[in-house]
Structure 1
């Protein structure tokens, strides 16, 4: 199963309304349906190579989304116990992987990051109390490094004519690592990170004053800049509204047969902006996960309306 991670395809996204071209790297083809399988495998094997982890020991990780299932899978196959902490409201489809692969799930209240009950603080406490090793995708440099060494080279091998790379930013590892590689491959390639409107990745990138972080899009945006965000390799960070993210996730499915989650919908909206004004653009956008995990959100008008999201 671990050998099935990576080597995800890049497929063209046909859109007669634009002059440039868009290509989608389908990270939802990984075993647990997201690109987080890459970093789970990379972080754990890096700790093994450093002598920090040995089979049978305890791995602890905090996740509000796809990393939960990815860590559970890799821990299962490499012989580790695993505890995953997650905030209330995390997609039950994503958390289903945790229990399916035999990891322990600890649900935490959805509170501010400075609260000791926060899911990241809880993971740190569990690791300390039970002698576990905390992976910490939010600061672990193996997160972006995996994408620099693995995902980025795949992308340029599959689409050597790429002019723009567009990817959602949560921890920032995917965008940062791929951007580092493509800048070494061809410095003229434009790298564009995608943030939520009410988020502080874009404010940190531009040096603007930070504000509250709030979005209905899982896995998009952060309260603050994280160590896994390598801004030196990122040319732009564009903010996308919840409405645009969900609308483009729907549009991708209905007009392009591309079933993706809302963070990938946000990236698709930016890719379309670029390809609409540049006929020579060859845009590769990263589809971080698949839309089958979001049938009860992306395609549910009532759920969206409850959160004030109007996609009409």
Structure 2
């Protein structure tokens, strides 16, 4: 039997489910701009950009696997970058308590970074946050405060609770939902890394939007290199990011896809660098995540599933497209939701379009 080196490039194409071979390897990245000397934190970043093995009508899809970060998501970058920026500005000192509010991946990321840098930390989360995500916080020794899942204006809301704890304990509240450090970290780090890995050869960047920091930072960096790359945000179907982007009246925010969408526009969303926002329903997002695992062996969460759905649309519509999709986290944290048997009937969505956006 011939070994893999005897296969032709065509035999390794996405058409038969394999990864594309390339004559030239992708460029190595230059590493993090937020050096610490810590061997664990040094594993954050430099995540791979791989060919997504999905047959399309024409365009190529590249998937950036942020699940390769230590806690399994791109929030490791945000936690490390924001804390290092605050240290550099003299706004975070050795005896300070780091406080953050998170409904998901940021909690574990902050717990890891503060563990390695020697800070005490308190993480506030809403009730219903997955046990896997809370597990990171407990494993790394951070204090966790579970709050009622209430409207954001309530003083018992997890974000309001974080602000109050920081004030009472003289701590430093990171506040990923409003600080400009959130998108700035991605402008300084993720954007250049992606651009270098793709050798500047992209037509689109597609990324889920929660706080919007990841896409905003990447978008600004890429737009400074060229205006020829279309930046596409991915929103939940019942969310108000797209409503704010297109200057429409807000509706009710309600989605089952963790980390996707928001009830309103946030200061961390730099719309000036984004070309369009498409909305994806919960069922389609779950379906694409499950397809990625079952058909391609790629384990991603629901928000990444939504982004893949949009990328497939773009690739089918534009034969020469070269699309980078940001896979924000892995699927291991969603075995009891996205991948649970009967968690969501995806059959009803098979004939629906992947996304909706103004013509």
Tell me the TM-score range normalised by the shorter chain: over 0.9
Question: TM-score, normalization: structure 2?
Answer: 0.85
Q: Distance between the aligned counterparts of 2:279 and 2:226, measured in 1?
A: 25
1:185 partnered with 2:225: yes
State the match for 1:173 in structure 2: 213
1:86 partner SS: strand
Q: Distance between the aligned counterparts of 1:225 and 1:172, measured in 2?
A: 9
Q: Distance between the aligned counterparts of 2:210 and 2:348, measured in 1?
A: 23
1:275 partnered with 2:315: yes
Q: Quick check: which one's helix share is greater?
A: 1
State the match for 2:272 in structure 1: 232
Q: Distance between the aligned counterparts of 1:302 and 1:199, measured in 2?
A: 24
State the match for 1:299 in structure 2: 339
Q: What do the CA deviations read for 1:89-141 (whole angstroms, capped 9, x no partner)?
A: 11110111101110000000111111111000010111111111100000111
1:56 partnered with 2:105: no
Cα pair 1:61 1:83 within 8 Å, conserved: yes
Count of residues in Structure 1 that have an aligned counterpart in Structure 2:
310
Cα pair 2:56 2:315 within 8 Å, conserved: no
Q: What do the CA deviations read for 1:44-91 (whole angstroms, capped 9, x no partner)?
A: 111111111112310100000000000001101111000000001111
Q: What do the CA deviations read for 1:143-166 (whole angstroms, capped 9, x no partner)?
A: 101111110111111112111000
Q: What do the CA deviations read for 1:254-301 (whole angstroms, capped 9, x no partner)?
A: 122110000000000000000011110000000000001111111113
Match of 1:153 among 169, 192, 196: 192
TM superposition shift of 1:302: 3.1
1:44 partnered with 2:88: no
TM superposition shift of 1:309: 9.3
State the match for 2:53 in structure 1: 14
Cα pair 2:206 2:307 within 8 Å, conserved: yes
Question: TM-score, normalization: structure 1?
Answer: 0.97
State the match for 1:289 in structure 2: 329
Cα pair 1:56 1:79 within 8 Å, conserved: no
Q: Where does structure 1 differ by over 6 angstroms across 4 or more consecutive aligned residues?
A: none
Q: Distance between the aligned counterparts of 1:165 and 1:45, measured in 2?
A: 27
State the match for 2:73 in structure 1: 34
1:221 partnered with 2:261: yes
Tell me: higher relative CO, structure 1 or 2? Use CA pairs within 8 A at least 6 residues apart: 1
1:107 partner SS: strand
Cα pair 1:62 1:85 within 8 Å, conserved: yes
Q: Distance between the aligned counterparts of 1:101 and 1:299, measured in 2?
A: 26
Structure with greater Cα Rg: 2
Cα pair 1:85 1:120 within 8 Å, conserved: yes
Q: Distance between the aligned counterparts of 1:68 and 1:54, measured in 2?
A: 20
1:111 partnered with 2:150: yes
1:38 partner SS: helix
State the match for 2:26 in structure 1: none
State the match for 2:42 in structure 1: 3
Q: Distance between the aligned counterparts of 2:266 and 2:259, measured in 1?
A: 14
Q: Distance between the aligned counterparts of 2:193 and 2:238, measured in 1?
A: 32
TM superposition shift of 1:303: 3.0
Cα pair 1:304 1:310 within 8 Å, conserved: no
